[in-house]
Amino acid sequence: MVRIVTPMDYWANAMQVGFVLAEAQGVIAMRLMGLAGFWSVPKTENKRMLNEKVFAFVKGTTDASFAAAAGKSPDIVAALAIKPIRQATRANHKRLTKRGLKRG
């Protein structure tokens, strides 16, 4: 069965990229405030932010490459490339938001 790609399929990917951008800005702000001593961040945050980026980009690239090689539609290839990055930004934003301002 042939899957018909609609403009909404591409729009869904654009929305996911928008969420990545918005959450990443929040994460960057909280991490910078953590470096300045205003936000409560764990001591392992610097190491974590480097490791997670490598994992997310390698996973996204690998998944998207396999999908493209299998002949999947461009919207599916893009969605697979975006998915691990979106998962990382969502998890980071949620985790760091819960930590809050540094007290005392």
How many domains in the chain? 1
| Domain-located, residue 26 | no
7 located within any domain: no
Instruction: Tell me if 9 is assigned to some domain.
Output: no
Helices (H) and strands (E) in the chain, counts: 3, 0
Domain presence at residue 53: yes
Give residue 91's domain range: 43-99
Classify residue 65: in a domain, yes or no.
yes
Strands (E), the chain: none
Per-residue pLDDT of the chain (104 residues; tens, 9 = 90+): 778 999 999 999 999 999 999 999 999 999 999 999 999 999 999 899 999 999 999 999 999 999 999 999 999 999 999 999 999 999 999 999 999 998 86
Look at residue 19 in the predicted model and tell me its pLDDT. 98
Query: Is residue 69 in a domain?
Result: yes
The answer to whether position 86 is within a domain reads yes
CA 81 to chain centroid = 10
Q: Report d(CA 102, CA 104) in Å as an integer.
A: 7
Could you tell me the pTM of the whole model?
0.89
* SS3 assignment, position 42: coil
Please tell me the predicted confidence (pLDDT) of residue 1.
Answer: 74
In-domain check, residue 48: yes
